Amino acid sequence: AAVNGTHAQAFRGVVRLQAELTGESFRELVGNGYLVVTITPNQGERYQGIIPLTGDSLTSTLEAYFAQSEQLPTRLYIFTDIQQHNRAAGLMLQVLPVEQEKARQDFADLVVLSDTITAAELLDLEPEVVLNRLFHQESVEVFPAQNISFVCGCSKQKCESALFSLGRAVVAEQLALGGLDMACEYCNASYHFSANDLQLIHDQL
């Protein structure tokens, strides 16, 4: 499975299956594997954290990632409701990299409170209500909500670049077949290359 996201909360994702899914638990469904997180800043070097799947959930794996790669104590709660409404809800607690000692103690206290959250509360209640229920002894400051959207950056031009990098032999092969349809696995868009299009690419290789 791969998910791409930006700081503007624009996401796209794809899951590829190699066999029929069996089992119910995270480990039965996914098997052994790794979580790879690649962060590409607008400026500066790209960096990557790789950790083996940990425990029996995506939640525990992500917590392990933050502990190991970012050294930030993190607690995640993720609940899904795919039976009835096809929805998910989550809560993430994380120590901000300020005032280490106090932050760590506050974090431990907030985890105790957050552990009481139920799937029904997180799925059904407004976020402000959940926060006030959990942390009513604290002063809760709610930042403006950000919209999350599905955005795919694919285009015919990018498919064309891919064909250029695949090389002359591959393009010739497709040309002999009379044309090519390329499908984007993220958004299911389809890009058609006619024999004419392929001939033009072939001539430039």
Return the number of the residue (107 or 186) whose C-beta is nearest Zn ion: 186
Q: Which of 203, 137, 129, 130 is nearest to 171 (CA)?
A: 203
In the complex, what is the shortest distance from the CB of residue 40 to Zn ion, in angstroms, rounded to a whole number? Answer: 18
Contact flag: residue 184 with Zn ion (CB under 5 A)? yes
| Residue from 187, 191, 195, 199 binding Zn ion (CB under 5 A) | 187
**Which range, of 48-56, 75-83, 86-94, 179-187, touches Zn ion by CB under 5 A?**
179-187
Site size for Zn ion, by CB under 5 A? 6
Q: Which of 143, 121, 144 is nearest to 134 (CA)?
A: 121
Return the number of the residue (12 or 75) whose C-beta is nearest Zn ion: 12
| Residue from 122, 186, 197, 201 binding Zn ion (CB under 5 A) | 186
Tell me the two tokens of residue 135: 């942390």
Rule CB under 5 A: which of 80-119 touch Zn ion?
none
Backbone angles phi, psi at 34, to 5 degrees: -130, 150
Cα 199 to chain centroid distance, Å, stands at 38
Q: Vertex 50, ends 49 and 53: CA angle to 5°?
A: 135
Backbone angles phi, psi at 22, to 5 degrees: -130, 155
Contact flag: residue 154 with Zn ion (CB under 5 A)? yes
Which residues would be at the binding site for Zn ion (CB under 5 A)?
152, 154, 184, 186-187, 189
